[in-house]
Amino acid sequence: MNFEKKILITGGAGFIGSHLVRKMVNKYSKYLIVNIDKLTYAGNLNNLKEIENKPNYEFINIDICNEADLSKLFKKYLFDGIIHLAAESHVDRSISNPKEFILTNVVGTLNLLNECKLQWKNSENKCFYHISTDEVYGSLGDVGYFHENTSYDPRSPYSASKASSDHLVRAYGHTYNLPIKISNCSNNYGSFQFPEKLIPLIINNIKQHQPLPIYGKGENIRDWLWVEDHANAIDLIFHQGKLGETYNIGGHNEWKNIDLVHLLCDIMDRKLGNVKGKSRGLITYVKDRAGHDMRYAIDASKIEEELGFKPSVDFKEGLEKTIDWYLENEEWLTNVTSGDYQNYYSKHYQQ
């Protein structure tokens, strides 16, 4: 088959990646979407069942740290664009095992940049698009927002590794004229998120009648965006964003952790037919995360004004949909929380 474009998506079996792959495969039948993923604990091909047999989709199990495999891949396909999401993504794991984050997030990104540099002698109509996080900007006080020109100030091994990869992407743009784009997004939530991150962890623990661990006083603030809105923004930036530019993505939706957990408890009690207040009784304050960033908040006016981005889903509606999905997808949840998850969970929350 002759495809209009060949697009490589890395980390497409993960949370955001699987939403993006599903969207791109369904929306662009004339593109070939090649998904490479190492299938770590966070990668799951069950996330992609809906599109796995589509003629414009291919999956290859590749570790982006493996240069020989990447070189073979780039010899086989002449890609028009790369949307790079593969990463180690959980802050708590980066605190206990930083090296894996440097290998995948920094060295893996470098390997992909080198392949593109080699392949794209003529870089016309090509694009290396790096998916990053607002955590590179550090931590805010009570007021202010992260803008695209906010100085980098990463404070966790995770955010330091993402900051480092952002710098490498920009350096390749500047030094070798590689056609690059970067976006930095706030916290995502929605279906298929691994239950180590706050929202699915709380939903799962309420289901299991387990304690709901709140770090510190629960006063830290995160700015939440519906994952499909992130995928929409990525599609928009990939097709219409300017080369060399950075776009912040967010939905103006700041929540104190404890307020968010209360809301989740109340929605879950209603859906499960519990006595009102039952789930709130499971809330347990635990030792704070080391170096816990206080507040993240995105100024998304650039992507709104230049590309017309607008989140499509209101937070309460998104949480209802997310909770429904976790309640209806018992098998998915059981699969991802068996084996290693139990080890991780008991080690992490016993500390």
Active site residues: 134-135, 158
The dihedral sign for the CA sequence 33, 165, 101, 95 = negative
Contact window for ligand TYD (CB under 6 A) among 141-149, 162-170, 197-205, 263-271: 197-205
Q: Is 196 helix (H, G, I), strand (E, B) or coil?
A: coil
Contact window for ligand TYD (CB under 6 A) among 52-60, 166-174, 196-204, 309-317: 196-204
Q: Contact between 187 and ligand TYD (CB under 6 A)?
A: yes
Residue 63, binding choice from ligand TYD, ligand NAD, none, Cβ under 5 to 8 Å by partner class: ligand NAD
Residue 20, binding choice from ligand NAD, ligand TYD, none, Cβ under 5 to 8 Å by partner class: none
The single residue among 33, 82, 201, 319 that binds ligand TYD, judged by CB under 6 A, is 201
Write the DSSP symbol of residue 49: G
User: CA-CA distance, 23 to 17, in Å (whole number)?
Assistant: 10
Torsion of CA 110, 179, 163, 202, to 10 degrees: -100
User: CA-CA distance, 191 to 326, in Å (whole number)?
Assistant: 7
Residue 15, binding choice from ligand NAD, ligand TYD, none, Cβ under 5 to 8 Å by partner class: ligand NAD
User: CA-CA distance, 116 to 53, in Å (whole number)?
Assistant: 28
We find the least distance from the C-beta atom of residue 182 to ligand NAD, in angstroms, to be: 11
Contact window for ligand TYD (CB under 6 A) among 17-25, 27-35, 137-145, 208-216: 208-216
Q: State residue 69 phi and psi, 5-degree precision.
A: -65, -40
Q: Do 142 and 206 form a contact (C-beta atoms < 8 A)? A: no
- Site residues (vs ligand NAD, CB under 6 A): 11, 13-17, 37-40, 42-43, 63-65, 85-89, 104, 108, 131-133, 162, 185, 187-188, 194
The single residue among 9, 13, 91, 233 that binds ligand TYD, judged by CB under 6 A, is 91
Q: Do 271 and 159 form a contact (C-beta atoms < 8 A)? A: no
